[in-house]
Amino acid sequence: MKSAVKAQQAEDSAETGAQQIRDAIREAIVERRLSPGTKLSESDVGNLFNVSRTLARAALQALSYEGLVNVEKNRGAFVAYPSPDEARQIFAARRLVEPGILREAAARITAGDISQLRQLLLEEGRLMSERGQTARRAEIKASGDFHLMLAEISGNAIMQRFMEELVARSSLVIALYGQSTASSCGHSEHGDIIAAIENDDLDRACQLMLHHIAHIEADLDLRERKSLGLKEAFEL
Amino acid sequence: MKSAVKAQQAEDSAETGAQQIRDAIREAIVERRLSPGTKLSESDVGNLFNVSRTLARAALQALSYEGLVNVEKNRGAFVAYPSPDEARQIFAARRLVEPGILREAAARITAGDISQLRQLLLEEGRLMSERGQTARRAEIKASGDFHLMLAEISGNAIMQRFMEELVARSSLVIALYGQSTASSCGHSEHGDIIAAIENDDLDRACQLMLHHIAHIEADLDLRERKSLGLKEAFEL
DNA sequence: ACGCAAAAAAGTGTATACGATTTCGCCGCC
DNA sequence: GGCGGCGAAATCGTATACACTTTTTTGCGT
C-alpha cells in the first residue's frame, strides 16, 4: 500500500517509539474503537503502552497536528469531536482536492496500479458481506484506502499526506453524524470511478468522484446538537 | 489577518511556550534568516530561548510536521532542504488547490476583504521599492500573505492551514532554487487576480492564479546539484 | 607522517521529578 | 437543605537526569 512514503521514513526503521504509539492510537480512532470526545490522559496512554508520559505526550501532540485529537491547555487531550462546521469544511476540502488528485493519478496510473485498486475493491466487498465488529472496522479502513491509494498513485507525497488527514477526519465525522447503518462509502461508486479511469474518461471520473463525496456527505445529519441540552433540550 | 482561526486557538491565549518557539523559528525559516540545511540542535534552541530541551524538542517536532524541519533519528533536526522533486510536488500541490481556494474565496468575499487585499498589495509594493535585508524579508512575507489571505477568506480553516504549510515550504524552495534576485512573486499578478475577482470573472481569476504560480516556478532552477562537489566540482 | 582504533565529547531518546493548574469532594455556614 | 469556599487528588507544564548513539578527538602502531 503506502510503499513510497513509508519506505522513505523507515530508512532506518525502528520509528522513534512515539510514532508507534501515535499510529496505534490513530488506527483506534479511525476504526472507531475510540469515540469522539474520549479523554486520552497522558498517564493513561503512557501506562497502556508501557512508556513514560514524555512519549505519550509526543504522540498526542502529533495527533493534534493531524486534527484527530484536541489538546486543551492544562486539561488534557481528547479524541476530536468535529463540529458540524468542521465536518463541512472537511468535505469541502475533499471536494476541492480529490478531483485534482484523481487527474494526476490518472496521468501516471499503470496496469499494476489498476489491478491493485481492483483487489482493494474486492477485499472491500468481501468485508462488507461479513458480520461482526472486526469486519466492520476493516471495511471502514478499506473504503478509505481506496481514496488513499489514488493519492499514492498521484505520486505527490504532500497531497498524499493531506489526504490521509482528510480521510481520517472523515471517519470521525461519519462516526459522529452518519445515519445509515450501512457502509460509509457507496461501494459500487469506487468501481465506477476505476472504470472511468480505464476508459480515459477523466471528466467523467472526476464527476463520479464528486458525486461519491456528495453521497457520503448526504448520509450525514449535520444539525447542530452540541450543548443544546443546557436550555432547549428540556424546553421541548 | 488570521483573526478567525487564531482567535479560536487563543481562547485561553498564552500559548504553551513550545508554540511560541515554534512560531519564532518558523518565521526565521520563512524569512530566510535560517538557511536550509542548518542544524538546529535541541540544546542550542533551548539555550537560545531560555527553556529546557523538552520545549525545544517539542517545537522542532512541530516544525517537522509542517515539513519545515527534518528530524533524523539520533542525529538531530535540520532546516528542511527540499529536493527538486519535493519542490515540484509543492508547486504541483499549489496548482492543485489554489484555484479551488480562489473559487471558494470569491464566493464569500466582501468589500472589506477586497480593500484589505488591496492594502496588502500596497504594503507589498512599498516594501519592494525599499532597500535592505529587513525590507526584503518583509516583502517575502507579504507576498505569501496574499495567498494566505485568500485562503482565510475562503472560510475553510483546513485549507487555510494547508496553504500556510505550502507557502512556508515554497519560501524554502525559492531560497534554494530561486534565480532572479528580484521579488519572488510577480507583484502585479496579485493585483490582476483581485481585479478579476471584482469583475466576477472567476475563470479568468483562476487562470491568472495558475499563471502566477507557473511564473514563480519558472524562476526556479530545479537541476539536481546535490553533493556534486565531491569530484565534479573541481574537475570542471 | 599517515591511518586506524579506542576513548572522550557531544547530542539525542526516554524516564523521572517537581511545581502549577484544574477538578472534585467535603465541611461549615447561611 | 442548599451554597460557597477550602483542601486534597489528579493531571498537565517544564526541568532535570540518565542511557544510548553518533561524532570527534586522541594516541598508538606501522
Residue of chain B whose Cα is closest to the Cα of A15: B73
Segment among A128-142, B3-17, B35-49 with least mean pLDDT: B3-17
Residue B183 contacts residue B128 (beta carbons within 8 Å): yes
What's the burial of A74, exposed, middle or buried (CB within 10 Å: 0-12/13-18/19+)?
exposed
Show residues of chain B in contact with A62, CB under 8 Å.
61, 65
Instruction: Tell me the CA–C1' distance in angstroms for B12 and D3.
Output: 28
Which one of A68, A158, A159 makes the best mutation probe of the B interface by having the most chain B beta carbons within 10 Å?
Answer: A158
Per the rule left: phi > 0, alpha: psi between -120 and 50, beta: everything else, B200 is left
* Segments making up each domain of chain A, as ranges: 1-79, 84-219
Give the confidence band of B33 by pLDDT, cuts at 50, 70, 90. Answer: very high
pLDDT of B48 > 70? The answer is: yes
Smallest Cα–C1' distance to nucleotide C16: which residue has it?
A: A52
Give the confidence band of B3 by pLDDT, cuts at 50, 70, 90. Answer: very low
- The amino acid occupying position A200 is D
Average pLDDT, chain B: 88
Average pLDDT over residues B164-182: 90
Q: What is the tens place of the pLDDT at every residue in B95-134?
A: 999 999 999 999 999 999 999 999 999 988 888 888 888 8
Give the confidence band of A184 by pLDDT, cuts at 50, 70, 90. Answer: low
Give the confidence band of B139 by pLDDT, cuts at 50, 70, 90. Answer: confident
- The amino acid occupying position B81 is Y
Write down the pLDDT at residue B199.
95
B236 touching A (Cβ < 8 Å): no
What's the burial of A188, exposed, middle or buried (CB within 10 Å: 0-12/13-18/19+)?
exposed
A12 touching B (Cβ < 8 Å): yes
Handedness of CA A52, A58, A64, A70 (dihedral sign): positive
Sheet of strand B39-40, all strands in order from the earlier edge strand to the far edge: B39-40, B76-79, B69-72
Give chain A's length: 236
Task: Kindly state the helix (H) or strand (E) to which residue B71 belongs, with its residue range.
Answer: strand B69-72
Q: What is the tens place of the pLDDT at every residue in B6-16?
A: 333 344 455 67
B38 touches strand C (CB under 7 A): no
More confident residue, A203 or A15: A203
- Residues above pLDDT 90, as percent of chain B: 71
DSSP-based three-state secondary structure for B111 = helix
B74 touches strand C (CB under 7 A): yes
CA distance B164 to B68: 11
Distance from CA of B159 to the nearest CA of A (A): 7
Instruction: Tell me the CA–C1' distance in angstroms for B122 and D15.
Output: 47
Q: What is the CATH number of domain A84-219?
A: 1.20.120.530
Q: At what angle do helices B202-218 and B187-198 cross, to 10 degrees?
A: 170
Fold (CATH) for B1-79: Arc Repressor Mutant, subunit A (1.10.10)
Instruction: Tell me the CA–C1' distance in angstroms for A45 and D8.
Output: 24
Of A67, A73, A90, the CB nearest to B12: A73
Neighbours of A8 (CB within 10 A): 9
- Residues above pLDDT 70, as percent of chain B: 86
B77 touches strand C (CB under 7 A): yes
Average pLDDT over residues A103-112: 97
pLDDT of A14 > 70? The answer is: no
Beta-carbon separation of B96 and A93 below 8 A: no
For residue A204 the three cell numbers come to 467523467
Give the confidence band of B217 by pLDDT, cuts at 50, 70, 90. Answer: very high
pLDDT of B226 > 60? The answer is: no
Write down the pLDDT at residue B13.
53
Beta-carbon separation of A100 and B104 below 8 A: no
pLDDT of A2 > 80? The answer is: no
For residue B191 the three cell numbers come to 493585483
Most confident listed range (A185-194, A219-228, B189-198): B189-198
Sheet of strand A76-79, all strands in order from the earlier edge strand to the far edge: A39-40, A76-79, A69-72
- The amino acid occupying position B63 is L
Write down the pLDDT at residue B16.
78
Write down the pLDDT at residue A63.
98
CA distance A76 to A67: 15
Give the confidence band of A36 by pLDDT, cuts at 50, 70, 90. Answer: very high
Q: What is the tens place of the pLDDT at every residue in B60-87?
A: 999 999 999 999 999 999 999 999 999 9
Instruction: Tell me the CA–C1' distance in angstroms for B71 and C10.
Output: 17
Residue A34 contacts residue A79 (beta carbons within 8 Å): yes
Instruction: Tell me the CA–C1' distance in angstroms for B227 and D25.
Output: 26
Residue A43 contacts residue A83 (beta carbons within 8 Å): no
B185 Cβ contact partners less than 8 Å away, ≥ 6 residues apart? B143, B144, B146, B212, B216
C-alpha gyration radius of chain B: 19
- The amino acid occupying position A42 is E
Which nucleotide lies at the shortest CA–C1' distance from B12?
C21
A76 touches strand C (CB under 7 A): no
Which one of B5, B12, B162 makes the best mutation probe of the A interface by having the most chain A beta carbons within 10 Å?
Answer: B162
Beta-carbon separation of A104 and B92 below 8 A: yes
Start-to-end CA distance of chain A, whole Å, equals: 50
Show residues of chain B in contact with A96, CB under 8 Å.
97, 100-101, 104, 156, 159
Neighbours of A26 (CB within 10 A): 19
Give the confidence band of A42 by pLDDT, cuts at 50, 70, 90. Answer: very high
The reply to whether A84-219 shares the fold of A1-79 is no
